[in-house]
A and B are shown apart, each in its own frame.
Chain A
């Protein structure tokens, strides 16, 4: 018996002595993806899709919206603020406290690194045809340019990261805008040369987009410290190239402005670029209280209709976050001279098509309403003007029930006309995010870019023609001729006004005002100061708070801390 124990012992000691430890200690991960996955045919395509996905954290999200829409002459603060961006609140719009400035910066660089990874591995990837690789490279470069264009416009000089990061580094500093522009324009030129004319799938970036962005990049550089003599000419050239070849690219203006933002038409012919969302809960955020990567755009422009008599929150009317109140300047910019009374804003149809001014009863008796109210009857009306007393009396005595009239003098942070471009009726829950793709660039803007570029190159007739194309489309049937303008009316303020009318709320007003050097001037002139009304407050402290340095956002404090000060702060934020 002793013998058998000894043999067992021997076996165990043998095991102890054998040299297989090395193998046991080698890792063989099967559940994670390592960076070299990008070097496979599947991996590089997944990597490219990843680069697209990062844009969801900007477009449709609250931070992206506050960045692009608010603190301008178009919209002012509603019932909630974010990082003080809408009012340039000096206590919150700071390098440490502005979560929007910190998060957007981090997000954009994260996906720039993603694009750099795709570009690095494109040189060695196996299993794809050269044409496929060429297309992948072109898409990645275009998207990288898009991220840098956002970064540079918001932060000025920014680190120019063009290589995939494979070892930890803190040695990062800001590059001058000239270098960033050069990179953006080089990437876009490469894209124009290599990318497909038309998208293989909805949402893919195309040559039309590359041309549009190239025009816009040159137009923007033309007013920057990095301006080149031929920037306006180049902007005009690329915009015109896109307009002239629109049939080749399958692009055109919608005939009716009502179709431009119609739900279901997000991949329509006027759309140059959108961020994809759909109703598939696996790939699009559908949770009501999970906001990362969700398209929340339908929430923010809604006023508090749910507090009005005979109204309750429902899916078609949307989730009323009431973040953005249109300024008087914006709603009045749709008034043509000579229009009065009920005629107001009827020639330029964009106000009535893009703003919701009437609400219909969906809950008789709610919020102190009368039980006699009829579902579907008018619950509230924003007439957009002060009504005569007689009209108000008539409405108050109406049967079966009166409705609420909210005139401009009664607008507050809760009650105001609602921009309806992002309305999303096809949601499954009353608090669910939108399932609509988010439109980033559309063809109407190409005309406005072309008009601005041709104006500055001195070709006024061409500029007027482009701008009239956009204006005439918006005119009421039979009154389109009233919309046309002449060369004498054209100047940069008119173009800015026209961009407001056409592009209000489309995440680009802040850039437009910064590009044209009009941000401070217009915010001071167009944004009313706070007034206390019996039913709430109205207005914003933006005009009082804004300073010249606000043409840039604060560099996130963490970037300064983490580079030991190598990354520096923008002026005014120290």
Chain B
């Protein structure tokens, strides 16, 4: 043990040494450049484009030196030259580099031609860039323009509907919610199917809201193994590379962009009003007791409810609580530089409030980049992204209280104070009580500083060494307070909570690249050695019974401690990687990659694994037989195969654990409290990696001068040695463990297409981006052996089925409602007319576990996205739409155990076509008191069609003509208006009536566990409900529509 500690300390020293090496490199970078100007003549000139327009910010350098300058807003430059300096190099991004000779006149103008894109356009790939013509992997790019089209709160939203194979589902309309991102479907049962995010080369985890979308310039989605294999153990779910803005050589440029918007609920939940609720409740009571007399029975309505019923008064908490939300964003940027030094800085402020009170998110961001050339061979730089997020009320989902309270009971007492339990029922707390002064508070505050530094040395021609250091630190402070008089406390003493966590992520990468062209041969080698350490520490304290509400959670010491906790966890990853790219004549290219990863999270003996991949591409368009065909602008075939991994194992998971907490071990003997322990997880030394092997075929094409361009991908992914949470018989003392067994497969087709539909000489352009995705998940084998028929066995206890997608709904099937003339038949199944009729699947005259069947899956039949752009003179119009077709989703509002539609008469619910003796519908059961909290098998009512079409945004902008802008001292100016979520359509009648629900948000909001028929877990937690049930889960604040006005200015 002691020896071990010494060793690990030694290693820490080494990690420090590595950092010091970086420091040395940086220090070296600061040494002064050795070139300086000498006295001589001055040359001036004007740089223009092909069309004669002045080009500002163009770099002009004296050939063979580092002396240079950039052009001003008029495209004019001025330089001092010494004797013998006669040639200038003029360059600007997007234009061909040009050399001009300086005559004796003292002026030298130049006209730059647009860069021939096809040949030199580069593509960001993992650990570098590649010539687009030589890329072998399947990569979807979302460029800066697309990112700018739609103001968004985070990068996930920006991607929605934009890239084939990338599914993004917004989970909730509450401020600060991160969307769920899936690349090519789900492949793993264990934990995460989330892709790896890499920001400026450094793996990024945590909340997407920490990144200011204004700071991004491009987003690349790496989908096949050839492109993800260099991320080895973490690449299995795809990789999203995010590049942030950096300075460019040229005149300083300032930008300001801002938008302001108002968001409103798209619609409401169609709640029963007072009279409808009365009839519903009466139906429930009389279903159980036909003699029930509502007028003589005290338990039917409270005196107050009777009064309101008689007076025709009704309360809808939606009226009392929904409000308009606000969106605003300001972003100020400055960038510029010379050939040696480039810098950029930006300040951002984002503020969003929700459509129910208090919810909100504020983000302050500060960012800076610096790139410095030192001498001829060295370049150093840094990028620092700093954000502070303040989120209000992220955890309090009050929808259950809003949607289930009695509409007949008065919400306020005679003094205008909200009544805690308006109809006395303690399950039906008044949501308004949360919003009285100092009644509750919840905040999450997070400070994050995400930094990457690099130093790069050109060792020999084409050979570069680069050291990347990633420093990512997060500190999060959460707190909450609930007064006694809120439903969360129900009259019990007030409670308060604070927690603090610190996460620190350190990455050191040594990258060696060799890049040479020998005649027709392009050769590129990348070698990597990296070490990453991630550590997180936290503590929290809860107290009860605070002396005053006024202090909220700011003086925990005044309360009675109820629990305190702290934790710490650390993991390390060591990686080696090598990649070779070879291209011949820009026609044939090949990539070979091998990455070896070692992870601390796996048991000794399983820690290291290698991940190889290979890919080839044939750039057919560059073949002689096509080169001169006008109509073909690009044509490339690609093929790749490779293997990547997934580390869905938590630190210490292989060791087994004991639990010690309230409800699990804590006990007292008299007044003596004891922290007892209970076995919680079983030791599992055999855990290893989960692998995904991907085969990908791709076709990139462009026709008619790229009027039509796009790519087609066909792929198959096989994920094996699945980290499979396997349910154990609980008689063993444990409910489950994770093991490497089984295999899944994803097959799919992705089509991305960009078309310029109309382009007129008058300047009108209509362009469309299409994307279309079909992905089929399939479980191939679960390691359970073969059944009598020789087929792989399914695992009913875990609801996993051979040949089916990963997450299917396996349950009874509702086929209607038992009708009055079916009394005897209903009795055979233990029920009565008016109640849910389930299919006797095996027709044995009984209803039991054998009658469960696969109802559907959340996997859509296909997904598609469509972006239309129109331009005319300075006007532009952009509309982004998406659709997902054929998935079956679980609606938490209709799902009985969610306690929103319980058909029991106790709670109010949305208007549904429920059965009564005079309304023999087959839609919903008769409300019936005494059914329990919800009718048996009412979960079967929650399975609905998840198909939807959604226009995510329509954006209409106007760019001021350059001349006008110039008069206003602006470089450019654009103003726009935007509608977010103008249109959502679903074929389901229920969603047409309840516009508050966005079916998109439900696509991933549920997953299945194996807990009986209530085996659905909705992702949205709820403080105000019983954690041991599903009560109140999954129904989020109403979907919103926003109206935004914005402007972008450049100076």
Contact = CB atoms under 8 A, between A and B. Distances in A.
A558 B490 CA distance: 35
Contacts of A31: 566-569
Given A112-B733, A276-B668, A290-B1026, A304 B14 contact: no
Interface stretch (A93-101, A251-259, A334-342, A456-464): A93-101
Given A15-B14, A204-B669, A89 B830 contact: yes
B1025 interface: yes
Contact of A109 (B297, B658, B733, B831): B733
Contacts of B17: 11, 15
Interface stretch (A22-30, A183-191, A466-474, A509-517): A22-30
Interface in B555-607: 560-563, 566-572, 574, 598-601, 604, 607
Given A34-B656, A166-B683, A202-B669, A47 B544 contact: no
Chain A binding site: helix, strand, loop or mixed by DSSP?
loop
Interface in A76-115: 79-82, 89-92, 94-97, 99, 102, 105-106, 109-114
Contacts of A494: none
Contact of B459 (A9, A159, A287): A9
A172 B303 contact: no
Interface string B455-493: 001010000010100000000000000001000111111
Contacts of B106: none
B731 interface: yes
Given A12-B21, A168-B684, A52 B667 contact: yes
Given A24-B574, A46-B665, A282 B18 contact: no
A35 B465 contact: no
Nearest to A538: B289
Nearest to B655: A34
Contact of A429 (B489, B562, B654): B489
Interface string A341-367: 000000000000000000000000011
B936 interface: yes
Interface string A15-57: 1101011011111111111110110000100111111111011
Contact of A283 (B531, B673, B735): B673
Interface size class of A (residues with CB under 8 A): 35 or more
Interface in B642-688: 651-652, 654-658, 660, 662-679, 682-684
B651 A27 contact: yes
B676 A169 contact: no
Contact of B666 (A159, A282, A557): A282
Interface stretch (B167-175, B361-369, B722-730): B722-730
B655 A27 contact: yes
Interface string B730-746: 11111101010000000
A91 B851 CA distance: 14
B491 A430 contact: yes
Interface residues of B, number: 126
A168 B726 contact: yes
B843 interface: no
Nearest to B492: A429
Nearest to A17: B529
B24 A8 contact: yes
Contacts of B291: 532-534
Interface in A175-211: 201-204
B11 A34 contact: no
B419 to A, nearest CB: 12
B626 interface: no
A287 to B, nearest CB: 7
Contacts of B8: 23-24, 26, 28
Nearest to A567: B729
Given A167-B682, A168-B734, A536 B297 contact: yes
B143 interface: no
A357 to B, nearest CB: 19
Interface stretch (A123-131, A229-237, A306-314, A381-389): A306-314
A78 to B, nearest CB: 10
A534 B296 contact: yes
A431 interface: yes
A135 interface: no
Interface string B1014-1051: 10000000000111100000000000000000000000
Given A293-B662, A558-B1010, A367 B303 contact: yes
B529 A16 contact: yes
Contacts of B831: 91
A428 interface: yes
A165 interface: yes
Contacts of B671: 278, 280
A286 B728 CA distance: 32
Given A31-B569, A90-B830, A96-B849, A110 B733 contact: yes
A20 B667 contact: no
A312 B425 CA distance: 11
The winner among B299, B572, B673 for most chain A CB atoms within 10 A is B299
Contacts of A9: 457, 459, 465
A201 B604 CA distance: 44
B1028 A291 contact: yes
A368 interface: yes
A105 B730 contact: yes
B1013 interface: yes
Contacts of B568: 30-31
A94 B544 contact: no
Interface in B851-904: none
B211 interface: no
A446 interface: no
Contacts of B762: none
B243 interface: no
A20 B796 contact: no
A255 B757 CA distance: 97
Nearest to B536: A31
A431 B667 contact: no
Contacts of B533: 24
Nearest to A430: B491
A554 to B, nearest CB: 11
B424 interface: yes
A117 interface: yes
Given A53-B666, A96-B849, A114-B678, A536 B655 contact: no
A29 B739 contact: no
B421 to A, nearest CB: 8
A316 interface: no
A28 B4 contact: yes
A12 B18 CA distance: 6
A398 interface: no
B683 A559 contact: no
Nearest to B10: A20
A537 interface: yes
A282 B563 contact: yes
Question: Nearest 9 CB-CB pairs, A to B?
Answer: A113-B733, A429-B492, A49-B676, A561-B797, A50-B676, A283-B673, A201-B669, A91-B830, A281-B562
28 contacts: A6-B459, A8-B25, A25-B598, A26-B600, A29-B652, A33-B660, A34-B656, A34-B658, A46-B665, A47-B677, A90-B830, A92-B936, A96-B1013, A113-B732, A114-B733, A166-B656, A166-B683, A172-B732, A201-B670, A278-B670, A281-B561, A283-B668, A286-B562, A289-B1026, A291-B1028, A429-B489, A536-B289, A558-B729
Interface of B: 4, 7-8, 10-11, 14, 17-18, 21, 24-25, 28, 31, 288-293, 296-299, 302-303, 375, 377-378, 424, 426, 457, 459, 465, 467, 484, 488-493, 510, 529, 531, 533, 544-545, 560-563, 566-572, 574, 598-601, 604, 607, 651-652, 654-658, 660, 662-679, 682-684, 726-735, 737, 739, 796-797, 829-831, 847-849, 930, 932-933, 936, 1010, 1012-1014, 1025-1028
Given A116-B733, A203-B667, 18 more contacts: A11-B17, A25-B600, A35-B679, A43-B677, A52-B667, A89-B830, A91-B831, A91-B936, A111-B678, A113-B679, A201-B670, A203-B670, A289-B1026, A367-B303, A368-B298, A429-B484, A536-B292, A556-B730
